[in-house]
Amino acid sequence: MILAISGSPRAQTTEYVLKQAAEILNAFGHKIIQYNVRGREIGFCTHCNYCLGGTGCIIQDDLQELYPSLLQADAIILASPVYNGGITAQLKTVLDRTRAIFPSNKNALRGKPGVAIAIGGDRAGGQELALQQIHTYYIINGMIPLSGGVFGANLGASLWSKDDVEGIMADGEGLRSLKKTLKRLSEYLEEVKK
């Protein structure tokens, strides 16, 4: 199972891209579960250290339902619109709150492949910075960041929305970067199975 997390507070471009991603990965034979931050109550991590006791996060909110999926996932996709040259505050909060899963298993995400998707309102709207922020999370937690490779998908999928779904549909290069990145993820998962 591949867990795809949309870091967008709106039901527009990022969720559309993840629907496209699910279609691509389904065609490769993978099951996708999508978690959207939109409309959910997710509190900020206050670094209270409650989780260090190994009993999870003290904050009881909508993020509790994500923890089991993170642990069970064979791979993780993090997708975000670009806000001020990075990922959204909502996605950053999700990443911060995953701190709660590590005291009981410091290797909870170790070795899992992860890919990054960034959607910008401009062609050069900060997508690479957002992709790097996601990759940093993967590296810190012992995951394996994957990209689609050179020539168009160096860090993952980078799309230009022009602030609406029609912009993404017209972004042939961005959609190619999405397909390349997801194809590489599928190939990697197949290699691991062997």
Q: 108-112: which pairs have CB atoms within 8 A and are 24 or more residues apart?
A: 108/70, 108/71, 108/141, 109/70, 109/76, 109/141, 109/142, 109/143, 110/141, 110/142, 110/143, 111/142, 111/143, 111/144, 112/73, 112/74, 112/75, 112/76, 112/143, 112/144
pLDDT (tens digit, 9 = 90+) per residue, 51-63? 999 889 999 999 9
Query: Which segments within 7-57 are labelled E, that is strand?
Result: 32-36
Query: Which segments within the chain are labelled E, that is strand?
Result: 2-6, 32-36, 75-81, 113-120, 144-145, 157-160
pLDDT under 50: residue ranges of the chain: none
pLDDT of residue 193: 86
All structural domains of the chain, each given as residue ranges with its CATH number in brackets, are: 2-193 (3.40.50.360)
pLDDT of residue 174: 95
What predicted TM-score, i.e. pTM, was given to this entire model? 0.95
Which residues are 122's β-sheet partners?
none
Q: How far is CA 174 from CA 17, 33, 80, 155, in A?
A: 10, 23, 14, 12
Closest of 62, 89, 64, 85 to residue 7, by C-alpha: 89
Q: How many CA atoms lie within 13 A of 79 on its CB side?
A: 33
